[in-house]
Amino acid sequence: MLRILGKIQRIGIVTEPLPKIDEPALEEVGAQIKAKIGEMFSGSLAIRQVDAGSCNGCELEIHALNNPYYGIERFGVHFVASPRHADMLLVTGPVSRHMEAALRRTYDATPEPKLVIAVGECGANGGEFGVSYASCGAVSNVIPVDAVIRGCPPTPLDLMRGILQAVGELPALK
C-alpha cells in the first residue's frame, strides 16, 4: 500500500488538462441535454445500448461518449446493463434476423415510458446491408423507433445531438 501511495505521490497527476476541442457545440449541446433530462427524467437518463447486428463501428463511437472528452455522464446520461433499468434503448445495426427475437424481447423488457433511438445508417435504413435473408434492415422494421441518428458511424457529437433531439421532442411526461 505504502508503495502504491509513494508511487502516486511521485508520479502526481498525469492527466493533462484537456486541450480545447474544435467542437464548441459540445458544451452547448451537453448543457441542453442536462436541462432537458432534468425536466423530463428527474435528472438522469438511463440508456441500454443494444447491438442488433452492427459492424461494431457504432459501438466504438458510443463508447467514446464515456471518454474524458465527452464524459456524457456529467450531463446526466448513463449506460445501464439491463433493459429493465433503462429509459432509452440505443439500437445499432441493421437488425440481423438472428437478433430479431432478442431485440423484441429487450424492447418488451424495457419499462414504459421508453424511448428508442436507431443509430447509424444501418439502424436508420439498413445501410450497406439493407434487407436480405439475413437482415431485417432498419430498426423500425422490428420495433417502434422514436428517433434516428444518422452517420456511418455517427460521431460522438452526432450521438449527443441525436439524444438531445429525441429527449427534446418528448411531450412533457407529467
Partner 1 sequence: MTADWLTAFLGRLTTREIQAQEEPAAGLAPAHLLTVQADDWGQFAHEAKNWDCRWVAAWGEDSGDDLIANACFEKDGTYLVARTHVKRATPILPSHTPYFLAADRPERHMQDMFGIAFMDHPDPRRWTRHRAWKESEYPLRKNFPAAGNPLAQTPPNDNYRFLFAHGSGVYEIPVGPVHAGIIEPGHFRFQAVGETVLNLEERLGYVHKGIEKIAEGRDAKGLARLAGRVSGDSTVAHAWAACMAMEKAAGIEVPPRALALRAIMAERERVANHLGDIGAICNDVSFAFAFYQFGRLREVWQRVSRETFGHRFMMDRIVPGGVLSDLDDQASGSMQKQMVSLKKELDGLYNIIDDLPSLEDRLDTTGHLSPETAKAFGALGYVGRASGIPYDVRKDAPYAPYDRLSVEVPVFQDGDVAARVKVRAEEILASFKLIETLIEYLPPGSVRADWKPAPAGAEGLGFTEGFRGEILAYVRFGENGQIARYFPRDTSWLTWPTLEKLIRDNIVPDFPVCNKSVNGSYSGHDL
Cβ distance to partner 1 smaller for residue 100 or 146: 100
Taking the CA atoms of residue 32, residue 169, residue 131 and residue 65 in that order, the dihedral angle to the nearest 10 degrees is 20
- Please tell me whether residue 35 binds partner 1 under the rule CB under 8 A: no
Sole window of 24-32, 38-46, 78-86, 164-172 interacting with partner 1 (rule: CB under 8 A): 78-86
- How many Å apart are CA 89 and CA 136, to the nearest integer? 18
CA distances in angstroms from 126 to 62, 122, 141, 153, listed in the order given: 19, 4, 10, 13
Name residues whose C-beta falls within 8 Å of residue 95's C-beta, 6 or more positions apart in sequence: 52, 53, 103, 135, 136, 137, 138, 139, 141, 142
Restricting to residues 112-131, name those near partner 1 by CB under 8 A: 127-131
Closest CA to 66 of 172, 173, 156: 156
Q: Which of 27, 60, 84, 113 binds partner 1 (CB under 8 A)?
A: 60
Residue from 93, 138, 145, 160 touching partner 1 (CB under 8 A): that is 93
Kindly report whether the peptide bond that precedes residue 111 is cis, defined as omega within 30 degrees of 0: no
Q: Which of 40, 46, 106, 167 binds partner 1 (CB under 8 A)?
A: 106
35, 69, 150, 170: residue in contact with partner 1 (rule CB under 8 A): 69
87 contacts partner 1 (rule: CB under 8 A): no
**Applying CB under 8 A, which of residues 2, 5, 9, 15 lies at the interface with partner 1?**
15
**Residues 6 or more apart from 44 whose CB is under 8 A from it?**
37, 76, 77, 78
Q: Does 57 bind partner 1 (CB under 8 A)?
A: yes
The residues of the shown chain that bind partner 1, judged by CB under 8 A, are 3-4, 7, 11, 14-16, 18-19, 21, 49-64, 66-69, 79, 81-83, 93-94, 96-106, 127-136, 152-153, 155
